[in-house]
Every structure is written in structure tokens, then in C-alpha cells.
Amino acid sequence: MKKYIGEPVYLNLVGKKELTGVLIDYGSDVLVLLSQNDFYYIPLFHIREIRSLSKEEAGSFSQSDTAMTLSFDEQLSLKEVLHAAAKGSFVEVNITAAHAIHGYITNVLDDYLVLFTPIYETILIPIHHIKFLIPYSKDSRPYGFKLTKAPVSVIKGPPSAFEDHLVKLKGSFITLNIEGKDSISGQLIGKEAEFIELLTVREQQIHLNIHHIKTVMPFVFKEEKQQL
């Protein structure tokens, strides 16, 4: 990987996503790619292929003055990237090749994060499903708004494990895999082994594998918000 530092490269990611740019840095489980004025923080786990670009393919790549980089307290790793982003950066989190969510990271737990979005409010995202993360520049105005500080999570004391949080949501109305082709909503009946049981709008009971759940959006009734 070291040979590619500072060089224009091609990346093929899981999910038929392709990226080109300049490889800026890499750590134990993540690399940083500068592409079209954005810094992409990409988990190594999702990279299928990396190679150098020819001069014809590369065209002209240059360092951006507007892109947002993150400051790290320790060695570069995915967890460090997420914790750094949670210090107030507005970010794009890419879950699939065609599925990105924008918002503020409010909590980074053992195997998932909590994201506050202007559109969906609170979303739970298992870390292993994150294809890449892009922080916005500090002077950006997402949706035309300028916030003086990032929103605070409405979830108080979230469990450290994603599966434990699903257990906590028993009886709640949730939407899984928002905006994806496998998106589904219903009442969370409970968890059994590697599956959760969901009751759909027509009261059909289905079981879904937890490991294939990319996002969870819990719907919180107004009277419940006071108790979270």
C-alpha cells in the first residue's frame, strides 16, 4: 500500500462502486483518498482492487483547499476516523454504491454509530456496512443552513452493541435499510439468535438476519421523546 501514497489510483469497492483519486494516507484498516475535492475515508475491508492509474487515466489531480480533513489523536484507523468526525463535522456516510446518508455522528459505539440527519432524524448504522465517509468542509452550509454546533443525540445512553440496541427497541416501529431496495418497516417484535422478528403493516410476521441490516431508523412518538 505504501507504494501508492501520493499517486493517482483506481479503487474497485464491494457493491460495484469505482473511485479514482490520489491516495493520501492509510492506516490499520482504512485509507484516505482525495477525489474531486473530497477526502474519502474508505475501510480496507470493502476494497476489492487497487492499482495505479496511467497518465492518460489520471488526467490532472490536485490538492483541494476546500476539502475537509479530520484531526486524529491516535494512529489512523476507522474508529479514529469516526470519533474525529463525531466532533462536529457534517458528513456523508455511504452504505451502498447508490445509497448515501448525510448528517452528524452523535455516538460511536463498539460496532455501530448513531447518526442525526435533517431528513430522518436518528439512524443506527453498523460500522461494517460503511463503504466510505466524506467530511464536509467547515464553511459548508448543508441544505443552506449554518449550524453553530452539531445536534445532540436524542438517544440517552445507547447500548454499546448493535444487537443490544435492537433488543432495547422491542415494541418500537422501525424502518430498516432506508432508501434501499430491501427497505422495510414494521413493529419490532423481538430478537432470536441471529434474527429479528418484524410485524409488517398487514401483520405478517417475518424474520430478518441482523447481519444484513444496513440501517435502522426508529420512529419515536412525541410522548416517548421525553423518556429517551
SS3 annotation, 60-110: CCCCCCCCCCCCCCCCCCHHHHHHHHCCCCEEEEEEECCEEEEEEEEEECC
Confidence class for position 226, pLDDT limits 50, 70, 90: very low
Instruction: State how many domains the chain has.
Output: 2
User: Domain check: are 113 and 37 in the same one?
Assistant: yes
User: Domain check: are 116 and 49 in the same one?
Assistant: yes
pLDDT greater at residue 96 or residue 159: 159
pTM: 0.88
Q: Are 18 and 34 in contact (CB under 8 A)?
A: no
Rounded distance between C-alpha atoms, residue 174 and residue 187, angstroms = 6
The answer to whether residue 42 is domain-embedded is yes
Range of the domain at 193: 162-225
The answer to whether residue 20 is domain-embedded is yes
In the predicted model, what is the mean pLDDT of the chain? 87
Distance, CA of 130 to chain centre: 5
The answer to whether residue 143 is domain-embedded is no
**pLDDT, average across residues 166-177:** 95
User: Domain check: are 130 and 206 in the same one?
Assistant: no
E strand or H helix at 53, and its extent? none
pLDDT of 225 strictly over 90 = no
The answer to whether residue 152 is domain-embedded is no
Q: Which of 125, 162, 127 is nearest to 45 (CA)?
A: 127
User: Domain check: are 50 and 133 in the same one?
Assistant: yes
The answer to whether residue 114 is domain-embedded is yes
User: Exposed, middle or buried, 24 (CB in 10 Å: 0-12/13-18/19+)?
Assistant: middle
Pull the grid cell for residue 216: 435502522
E strand or H helix at 164, and its extent? helix 162-168
pLDDT of 42 strictly over 90 = yes
pLDDT of 155 strictly over 90 = no
**pLDDT, average across residues 26-46:** 94
Ramachandran region, residue 179 (left: φ > 0; alpha: ψ -120 to 50; beta: rest): left
Per-residue pLDDT tens over the stretch 88-144 = 889 999 997 677 899 999 999 999 999 999 888 899 999 999 999 999 887 777 788
- In the chain, the DSSP E strands lie at 8-13, 17-26, 30-35, 38-43, 47-52, 90-96, 99-108, 112-117, 121-126, 132-135, 173-176, 184-192, 195-199, 205-209, 216-219
CATH of the domain at 204: 2.30.30.100
User: Domain check: are 131 and 39 in the same one?
Assistant: yes
Q: 81 phi and psi, to 5 degrees?
A: -60, -45
Per-residue pLDDT tens over the stretch 1-17 = 789 999 999 999 998 88
User: Domain check: are 9 and 53 in the same one?
Assistant: yes
Range from 56-60, 76-80, 147-151 carrying the lowest mean pLDDT: 147-151
Confidence class for position 72, pLDDT limits 50, 70, 90: low
The answer to whether residue 173 is domain-embedded is yes
